[in-house]
Amino acid sequence: MDLPLIFMVLMGVSVLAYVVLDGYDLGVGMLMPAATDDEQSFMVSSIGPFWDANETWLVLGVGILLAAFPAAHGIVLQALYLPVVAMLVGLMFRGVAFELRVKAEGWHRQMWNWLFWAGSFLASFSQGFMLGRYITGFDQGFGYWLFAMLVGASLCGGYVLLGAGWLILKTEGELQKKAVKWARWGLLWVALGVALVSLGTPLVSETVRDKWFDFPRTLWLMLLPAATLAAGWWLWRSAALAGGRSDWQPYAAGVTIFTLAFLGLAYSLFPYVVIDRMTIWEAAAHPSGLKVVLAGAAVVLPFIVGYTILAYRVFRGKASRSLYD
Partner 1 sequence: MDDALFLARAQFGLNIGFHILFPTLTIALGWFLFGFRIAYQRTRDPAWLATYRLWVKVYALSFAMGVVSGITMSFQFGTNWPRFMTSVGAIAGPLLSYEVLTAFFLEATFLGVMLFGMNRVPDWVHITSTFLVAFGTTVSAFWILALNSWMHTPTGHVLDGNQWIAADWWAVIFNPSFPYRLAHMLLASALTASFVIAGLSAWRLLRDRFDNGARWTLRAGLLAAAGVIPVQVFVGDLHGLNTLEHQPAKIAAMEAIWNTERGVPLVLFAIPDEKHKRNDYAIELPYGASLILKHDARAELKGIDAFPDHPPVAPVFFAFRAMVGIGVLMLVIAWWGVWITRKKRVPPPWALWIFAAFTFSGWVATLCGWIVTEVGRQPWLVTGVLRTADAVGDVSGAALGASLTGYILTYATLFVAYMVVLTHLSGKGADKVKEEPTAAGFAAAKGTD
Q: Please count the CA atoms within 13 angstroms of the CA of 60 that sit on its side-chain side.
A: 25
Q: Site residues for partner 1, window 63-92 (CB under 8 A)?
A: 63-68, 70-71, 73-74, 76-78, 81-82, 84-86, 88-89, 91-92
Query: Any contact of residue 324 with partner 1 (CB under 8 A)?
Result: yes
Q: Quote the least distance from Cβ 82 to partner 1, whole Å.
A: 6
Residue 218 or residue 320: which is nearer to partner 1 going by CB? 320
Give me the least distance between CB of 10 and partner 1, in Å please.
10
- Secondary structure letter of residue 278 according to DSSP: E
The residues facing 288 across adjacent strands are none
d(CA 54, CA 50): 6
302 scored as a contact of partner 1 (CB under 8 A)? no
**193 CB-near residues (< 8 Å, 6+ apart):** 128, 150, 151, 153, 154, 155, 157, 158
Mention every residue, 6+ apart, whose C-beta is less than 8 A from residue 270. 8
With respect to partner 1, which residue has the nearer C-beta, 229 or 301?
Answer: 301
- Applying CB under 8 A, the span of 186-194, 202-210, 231-239, 305-313 interacting with partner 1 comes to 305-313
Angle at Cα 118 formed by Cα 112 and Cα 86, nearest 5°?
A: 120
Residues 120, 177: Cα–Cα separation, whole Å: 23
Least distance (Å) from partner 1 to the CB of residue 42?
14
CB of 304 to partner 1, least distance (A): 5
What is the C-alpha to C-alpha distance for residues 320 and 39, in angstroms, rounded to an integer?
A: 10
Residue 232 CB, shortest distance to partner 1, in Å, is: 31
DSSP, res 34: G
Per CB under 8 A, contacts with partner 1 among 159-188 are: none
- Using rule CB under 8 A, residue 222 touches partner 1: no
Stretch that binds partner 1, among 28-36, 147-155, 226-234, 311-319 (CB under 8 A): 311-319
Quote the CA–CA distance of 56 and 49 in Å, as a whole number. Answer: 13
End-to-end CA distance of the chain: 50
For 29, 169, 318, 320, the CA distances from 172, given in Å and listed in that order, are: 18, 8, 7, 10
Q: Got the DSSP string for 123-134?
A: HHHHHHHHHHHH
Contact set for partner 1, span 227-256 (CB under 8 A):
none
Nearest distance from C-beta of residue 166 to partner 1, angstroms: 15
Site for partner 1 in 23-62 (CB under 8 A): 45, 48-50, 52-53, 55-56, 58-60, 62
By beta-carbon proximity to partner 1, the closer residue of 225 and 289 is 289
Minimum CB separation of residue 88 from partner 1 in Å reads 5
Q: Please report, as a single letter, which amino acid is at residue 63.
A: G
* Site of interaction with partner 1 (CB under 8 A): 45, 48-50, 52-53, 55-56, 58-60, 62-68, 70-71, 73-74, 76-78, 81-82, 84-86, 88-89, 91-93, 95-96, 98-100, 103-104, 285-286, 288-289, 292-293, 296-297, 300-301, 304, 307-308, 311, 314-315, 323-325
